[in-house]
A and B are shown apart, each in its own frame.
Chain A
Amino acid sequence: MFHDVRTVFIRSITQVLRNPVWVVVTLVQPLFYLLFYAPLLKRTIGSDRLNGGSAYDIFVPGLLMQLALFGTAFAGFGLVSELREGVIERMLVTPVRRSALLIGRVLANLVALVFQATVITLVSWPMGLNLRPSAILGVLVLLGVGITFASLSYTVSMILGNEDALAGLLNFVTVPILLLSGMLLPLSLGPKWLQRVANINPLKHAVDAARDLFRGNLTTFAVGRGVTVVFVCAAAALIIGTRKFEHYAD
């Protein structure tokens, strides 16, 4: 199993490094938010909500979850071209484990994601983010979100099989997930019905957990709920994705 995952991982990470432009391009969007949106937020959120912290303490964890969403949800595009060239069918008739075909690829996406998240965090630091040791646990949430959306992206790309349909679906799905995550503004500012809808959104719980972790609150209900939700989703997405690899041609 380890051998198979490593083999697929090495190939995938080589592909990422062959085209490192994408790792950088994905970084541009959150950097714009950091530069042109975060300063607005500073004024909007009253200081009473900040409890002595900075607006960046609320915004950056959300931004990292956005990165985890957008950095991995488009992973399936790479798979579509491999499907078209018959690369995946070729691999499926080797003894390689189907789960390794998925996990190796997802791991490569996670490496890129952790690198991007590190860049965003380090850039935010001098801008006013209070970096506490507990923030490192935010990586757990980040990885869970990354595993979930990367696996789902691969699964959907195998079902749809072409870039146009995949792009349409991703635009349709990612925007509400993002808006209902409370990443741009705290959802507590909104009406009750909006909060209820947002509670179905796993990314909302991931954002809540990440915010508490960045503020140094390790043992809150939000952290427990966020980590649980994220890992249940990640496990489910891995199982669904592996099954799709098992039955790809059928």
Chain B
Amino acid sequence: MRVIETVGLRKTFQPKGPGAKKKGAAVEPIVAVDGINLHVEGGEIFGLLGPNGAGKSTTIKMLSTLLAPSGGQATVAGFSLATQRGEIRRVIGVVSQSGGLDSEETPMRELVHQGVLFGLDRQAATKRVTELLDHFELGAAANRQIKTLSGGQRRRVDIALGLVHSPKLLFLDEPTTGLDPQSRANLWDEVRRLRSEGTTVLITTHYLDEADALCDRLAIVDHGRIVAEGTADVLKAGVGGDVITLHLPDPSAADGVIRSSGLATHIERFGDDALRLTVGRGDSTVGPLLRLLDDAGIETTSLSTARPTLDDVFLRHTGRSLRDTPA
């Protein structure tokens, strides 16, 4: 079953602030999401991978009924985003980047209140929240002020908050930003456990390893558009082979020589002093490549060969490295 389906989903904002309006000039709207088509199946972990400002959060805000789309259609959990927002809100859980907890409050009180907002009576909510807090190993922190919790604890409270009403579909917006590696690994395990229980998870991230390790399928988003979509393996296979990264003082000379040799299927300039080559097999290409450069009198600083990563996929589709974009 399709849990999320969007066609041409779009969001534009009117620019605000000083300088936004000039006399006589038409104000160009800012396009945050530029026609996204998404298909998320029930029970999968689907990732939106992209740099900050790519439109990931805006997409989640639209799909979770917080923002009205400027264009396109969407159904979420079988309900129309345009006309059935109330029904959608009952079956989705949302964990935003900021979490949405009052830091003066305690996890117990905030979570019980959330349960009551979803129509549980206080007793049932308390029972459910006690289970959840135990599960997240937050029992000891249940009645402490949230501002006194550690980053990892607080994030677990955020996630628990999104799960109080046992949603069918959970939105996680950059859930591991700022977490230590241990908390991050725990959170991944938790997301996998949710999947095993049948919950569909839509997660946004700008971490390549997170998208690679956690997501069943993912969409790479840039400038409000989906530039590639599929499983991590299929996306990486689409790069067309292994990747050799060459560091050298004069990349343009090397570019020409390698291009005419036909050793690489794809050549990309990478910074001022590096080339990225896509080759059939990395190990068997290194020898001929070094000989070729040596014969041409081209100096090389370093060479490394690797299986393609999602960053190579991103680079292939956008011409930029996700690692280079400011997070």
Contact = CB atoms under 8 A, between A and B. Distances in A.
23 contacts: A7-B113, A7-B116, A7-B117, A15-B102, A15-B104, A18-B104, A85-B98, A86-B98, A87-B102, A89-B66, A89-B98, A89-B100, A90-B94, A90-B96, A90-B99, A90-B101, A93-B64, A93-B65, A94-B117, A94-B118, A95-B119, A249-B61, A249-B66
Contacts of B191: none
A92 interface: yes
Given A90-B114, A93-B94, 6 more contacts: A85-B101, A87-B100, A90-B161, A91-B117, A247-B68, A250-B68
A15 B101 CA distance: 14
B92 interface: yes
Contacts of A92: 65-66
Interface of B: 61, 64-68, 86, 89-90, 92, 94, 96-104, 109, 113-114, 116-119, 161
The 6 tightest CB contacts between A and B, nearest first, are A90-B100, A86-B98, A86-B100, A94-B117, A95-B89, A93-B94
Interface residues of A, number: 22
A89 B96 CA distance: 9
A250 B67 contact: yes
A96 B86 CA distance: 9
Contacts of A96: 117
B251 to A, nearest CB: 45
Contacts of B113: 7, 11
A145 B117 CA distance: 29
Contacts of A4: 117
Main secondary structure of the interface of B (DSSP, over half): loop
Contacts of B86: 95
Contacts of B119: 3, 95
A90 B160 CA distance: 13
Nearest to B146: A85
Given A18-B104, A85-B102, A86-B100, A94 B67 contact: no
B175 to A, nearest CB: 14
Most chain B beta-carbon contacts within 10 A, residue among A7, A90, A95: A90
A180 B114 CA distance: 44
Nearest to B161: A90
B103 A85 contact: yes
B101 to A, nearest CB: 7
Contacts of B94: 90, 93
A113 B240 CA distance: 70
Interface in A79-102: 82, 85-87, 89-96
A223 B304 CA distance: 86
Interface string A12-23: 001100100000
B116 to A, nearest CB: 5
B143 to A, nearest CB: 14
Nearest to B114: A94
Nearest to B68: A250
- Greatest chain A CB density within 10 A among B92, B96, B100, B101 is at B100
B59 to A, nearest CB: 13
Contacts of A86: 96-101
Nearest to B90: A95
A93 B101 contact: no
A11 B99 CA distance: 18
A18 B103 CA distance: 13
Contacts of B67: 249-250
Contacts of B161: 90
B117 A95 contact: yes
Contacts of B104: 15, 18
